[in-house]
Amino acid sequence: MSRKALLLAAALVLALSPAARADDTVTHHEFQADCTITHHQPDDPIVYPNQPGASHDHTFLGNTTTNAATTLQSLLAAGTGATTCLAPDDLSAYWFPTLYNGNQPVLSTWSQVVYYKSGILDYTKVQPFPQGLRFVTGDMMATQDEFQHAPGAIEGWECGDSFHNWDFPSYCVVGSQANIRYQAPSCWDGVHLDSADHKSHMAYPDRATLTCPADHPVPVPMLEFKIAFPVSGDMSQVHLASGRGYSWHYDFFNAWDPPTLAALVKHCINGGLQCDSRGFDQYKPDRGAALGPNYRLPGR
């Protein structure tokens, strides 16, 4: 065999080798919404609709109009771009209890990350949220043990080199941030956009099989809030508006433009990619992006 033929054969072997195909290996199935804080106020349009001031204080991301009177119609009426999220067609509202250091609210000035992931094993089956779906994740009345062992818990509160704190640590390295990640249920009953307790229409996948239970058969994206607070040093006066660190919870009210959300779910979650807010996976650039440079569907 000639040298040219040998080189060609070697190139073919390398091209077919696992190392060369590593870029096609599915390690993630997600995209992210990057959103900054809009405001904070004692409203909760899911738990206390049309009752301004009835809730503990919440910090809001996304739709700039969210208040106690918020409905799906009001979120959509805000219009394209009325959001602090990078994707102008994400008019959803995201909120969580405000964090305080003493009497001072601690509000970040940078983008917070809300991941949209697959919570089930077969990520190709995940469907977009229906417009108007809303729910509460976590339990402000939870004990520390309940918070630690909740299905949405990941690693508790983190800061600097301190991890797995199920309440606020007493001290964080100066200059670090207090971080929390928490996952939402990702199985919907397929019927109700809300429920009396704002939770029962949603369920977590079965832990053993990572499939949705029969009474909540529709797999939807698993939200994972990853929130960072600019607070460090002495943490003895740090608390949430809802109480101790283990009272952490959050709310979501879906008002995505349906075609935009569908494109991101199909390309990133069903497609097994690790996408940014454009639906672009920097590790697999050949797969392209779901959205254009303006974070909107091509042609918009």
Give the domain ranges of the chain.
Answer: 37-114+129-258
pLDDT for residue 23 is more than 90: no
Residue by residue, what is the 3-state secondary structure of 195-250? CCCCCCCEECCCCCCCCCCCCCCEECCEEEEEEEECCCEECCCEEECCECHHHCEE
Give the strand order in the sheet containing 178-183.
30-35, 112-117, 222-229, 178-183, 153-159, 162-165
pLDDT (0 to 100) of residue 183: 98
Q: What's the pLDDT tens digit per position in 240-256?
A: 999 999 999 999 999 99
Alpha carbon distance 268, 217 (integer Å): 21
Higher-confidence residue: 3 or 234?
234
Q: Where is average pLDDT lowest: 19-28, 255-264, 268-277?
A: 19-28
Alpha carbon distance 257, 65 (integer Å): 16
Q: What's the pLDDT tens digit per position in 67-102?
A: 999 999 999 999 999 999 999 999 999 999 999 999
pTM of the model: 0.91
Helix (H, G, I), strand (E, B) or coil at 139: coil
**Residue appearing with tokens 């339990």:** 139
Q: What's the pLDDT tens digit per position in 147-201?
A: 999 999 999 999 998 999 999 999 999 999 999 999 999 999 999 999 999 999 9
Alpha carbon distance 92, 185 (integer Å): 17
pLDDT (0 to 100) of residue 5: 37
* Contacts for 147 with CB less than 8 Å, ≥ 6 apart: 138, 139, 153, 156, 166, 245, 246, 247, 248
pLDDT (0 to 100) of residue 4: 36
Q: What's the pLDDT tens digit per position in 94-133?
A: 999 999 999 999 999 999 999 999 999 999 999 999 999 9
